Structure 1
Amino acid sequence: MAMNIETQSINFIKPFIPTPSNLRHYKIGFLDELAPSMNIRVVLFFSQIDNPTFVTELQQSLAKTLTPFYPLAGRYIDEICTIDCNDEGVEFITAKVNIKLQDVLDNEANLKFVDQLIPTTMISGDATNPLLAIQVTMFKDGGMTLGVSVVHKIVDMSSLCTFITEWASMNREKNDQVEFAKPVFVSSTLFPGRCYKPVPVQPISDNDMSRKYIRKKYLFSESALLNMKANHHNWSKVQLVSAIIWKGLIDVDQANNNQRVSILLQAVNIRGRTKSLIPKNSCGNIWGFLATEAGNVETVEGLADRLTDNVKKTLNNISKVDHNTEEGKLMILDTFSLPNIEKPTNVVTLTSWCKFPFYEVDFGFGKASWVAPGCVPIVNTVCLIDEARGNGIEAHVLLEAKDVPCFEKALQDFFSCLDLSFSSV
């Protein structure tokens, strides 16, 4: 099935109320500075849209939502680590496609379509580039997708989810009196900038990405996860799935004749978890890293125990942080330092979007039938997200095509021992 997308329009949506001059320059914090040079990308799939004016309404409600989220409509000046909140606007693309939405949802190879439904605008040092881009794609059967791409240096996923939720509320209520969980852009106040370089990542070239790599989706049902957790009540579903995926990637590394130390990196949202309260509606990058070394552990159960213990230890440490002190700031900064390991290291980066309320988002034309992350072209990346229907977990894993059989054998071996199954696409 070929999908041909035709761009209909490109506009720039500005805040409904101009940003006052005293808010013109927003200096980013050191957690923003450390954010990888990449975009956070997500697409929401909506079934039948009967309203012929919904695009205009989305643009109008977006403008009103950008008033309190004003930094997203600005431009980033790399030389001075500052957002110029000049209201130049958010890129808003409308497009149409030659197939039905249901054709995508029913197609087992639907992952190959996902990235075409998200704006391709990427971060660069160019101060003319938008920080946020949105693409509305209309399908033949009246279905629609809403693709969002935002510069990670400006916000994290918690901030983006807050923005999408508030935009949906504004559009649904069509009322200027909508009660906002008013965003607070305070990352630079909590963690003042220190001119740090972004966390280094290992991007995959476009050529290699198209020739050698494939993104796979694995669904772990709630019943299977509950069965596996039966005798391990201290495991969370996220840590269990993380351990299963991690074990598969360790097996792939060993099958390629590497004897490397393996480390799993996880992002940790620190809102509401520190001694000095950080508001949950704080926008920007308010997160740290959690690094767990596999050591000599060779089983999923052992890896799950390690992850669980490390999460508890890290969250306990974060609960003692007073971000108002230099000691507290250094404790958060320390999470970005990998363990001091002299041997070659196989780093797996895992992000969990579980419990972010994407499936509760309602723009006034129903909730999303599916939500998918955009592909991150970085070696050994994994994204977990809630299952569309039910309480399972979808895992999106980027693999070299040649390694897929080895990875899936590791998963199959583990599930076979428990007389359970998983599904893959």
Structure 2
Amino acid sequence: MSSSLFDHLKKSLSMTLTHLYPLAGRVKDVFTLSCNDDGAMFVEARAVGVDLSSVVGHPRMETLCRLLPCNPGEWPSEVNEYAVLAVQVTEFRCGGIAVGACLWHGIADASTAATFLQTWATISRDGDDSKIGGGFVVDCSGIFAPRSVDANQTVPWDGEAAREGQPVTKRFVFEGSKIATLRKKLATSSGGIITRIEALTALIWAAFIAASRERNRDLKLHLLVTAVNLRNRMVPPLPPNSIGSTLHIALAKLAAAEASVDECGLRVAESIRRVKDPLVRAVYGGGGAGAPPESLAEAMEKGSEKVGAEEGVGCLITTSWCRFPFYEADMGWGKPAWVANAAVGMNTVVFLDTADGEGVEAWAKLREEDMFRLEQNQDFATLVSLTQTV
């Protein structure tokens, strides 16, 4: 890669940040951003002894993390010096290029990440920003009133799984035809419309509960935490390209003994459909208009009260990056060959589109014995097209 191409990407990134200016700021504290225009971090890198095809064909989490400018699992000791956005461009000996980005989750969700990459790609490809519209920065303070939040309750974490049992991350690929079959089955049993991500969530949740019950016979209640994009659920809708971490947590609860795929499908769909404009405004509205949102810690506590012991409650977290235009981000040398997410938390499943847009990749991080039992589950195994340890 010539230095002129690195310079071109730096210049186009700089132009991009004039439109998405909060991404050029610094994290003041855990929940405050300073729009000081200090800029993004840009790292130039070259991969030694590896081709891009091997990374795409045989992904390894440690390799993917080396394509990022920072460790997504670490929080810096000096928070006020933390860049909101960091980018790394890596050149491979085969001529391939990887673009890795880390964004502060306090202002950037999957939709924001897609907006940033698509905007940067358009400016890089066209050489100017004449085709860039507006609507990136929206004042949502009337809907999402500022309030004090306990940082320890914002990220769900299975402490027991972290202490006991080696975590394993795997990538499961589901073909579009198999997803369609599962959707049809669940739609018939529920009498309603089930999206492809709801269907896959139900499949994995049921299999995970079954695996957890084999390990823990005292498991009584299971929770599903799903991140829901609020942009198209507000009235009027927020601009689809607006930046921010505009999410709400949909919470589904199910007695572990009732964890069939059909029942999980019903609970998944119900929890997501409850996330509508009136609920959002009641929960997040200013002036004490509604109760504060239920944190996962509070939900776990309530759940454990029902079964008499916290050890009897399990949890799975899911988030979907599907249907965002990651594969449309053509920076001038063609659309991406593959899009991946190297930041997968414990007991978490992240869904991404396959390159053809028909199938879905599910990236799951579980304790080793749970992962083994998940893969042995017949309902799950018959629908998986490809499994890779990453």
Task: Give the TM-score taking structure 2 as reference length.
Answer: 0.84
> Which blocks of at least 5 consecutive residues in structure 2 are unaligned?
188-192
Equivalent residue number for residue 386 of structure 1: 353
Give the aligned length. Answer: 366
Q: CA deviation at 1:272?
A: 2.6
Q: CA deviation at 1:323?
A: 7.1
Q: CA deviation at 1:217?
A: 0.4
Answer yes or no: is 1:298 the counterpart of 2:259: yes
Match of 1:284 among 215, 230, 244: 244
Change (3 A) 1:226 1:77: same
Question: Runs ≥4 in structure 1, deviation > 4 angstroms?
Answer: 316-327, 334-337
State the alpha-carbon separation in 2 of the partners of residues 86 and 183 from structure 1.
17
State the alpha-carbon separation in 1 of the partners of residues 264 and 174 from structure 2.
17
Greater shift, 396-405 or 337-346, is seen at 337-346
State the alpha-carbon separation in 2 of the partners of residues 326 and 320 from structure 1.
11
- Determine if contact 1:276/1:324 at 8 Å carries over to the other structure: no
Q: CA deviation at 1:173?
A: 0.7
State the alpha-carbon separation in 2 of the partners of residues 275 and 77 from structure 1.
31
Q: CA RMSD in A?
A: 2.9
Aligned residue type for 1:370: W
Match of 1:89 among 31, 34, 39: 39
Higher helix share: 2
Task: Give the TM-score taking structure 1 as reference length.
Answer: 0.78
Aligned residue type for 1:245: I
Secondary structure of 1:384's counterpart equals: strand
Equivalent residue number for residue 352 of structure 1: 320
Equivalent residue number for residue 64 of structure 2: 114
Greater shift, 284-293 or 183-192, is seen at 183-192
Deviations 1:161-213 (A, max 9, x none): 111111111111102423224411424453231122231433779x979x922
> Which blocks of at least 5 consecutive residues in structure 1 are unaligned?
1-48
Change (3 A) 1:128 1:323: closer
Q: For 1:22-421, list aligned pairs within 5 A.
A: 53-78=4-29, 81-98=31-48, 99-107=50-58, 109-121=59-71, 122-124=74-76, 125-198=78-151, 199-202=154-157, 212-233=166-187, 234-260=193-219, 261-295=221-255, 296-315=257-276, 317-318=278-279, 326=287, 330=290, 333-334=293-294, 338=299, 340-341=302-303, 342=305, 343=307, 344=310, 345-376=313-344, 378-410=345-377, 413-415=378-380, 421=384
Q: CA deviation at 1:52?
A: 6.6
- Determine if contact 1:249/1:407 at 8 Å carries over to the other structure: yes
State the alpha-carbon separation in 1 of the partners of residues 280 and 222 from structure 2.
27
State the alpha-carbon separation in 2 of the partners of residues 276 and 212 from structure 1.
46
Aligned residue type for 2:271: N
Aligned residue type for 1:77: K
Secondary structure of 2:233's counterpart equals: coil
Deviations 1:301-359 (A, max 9, x none): 221122112322334754886977657x6378358763731132211111111111111
State the alpha-carbon separation in 1 of the partners of residues 56 and 155 from structure 2.
35
Q: CA deviation at 1:239?
A: 0.7
Change (3 A) 1:324 1:312: closer
State the alpha-carbon separation in 2 of the partners of residues 257 and 75 from structure 1.
44
Secondary structure of 1:259's counterpart equals: coil
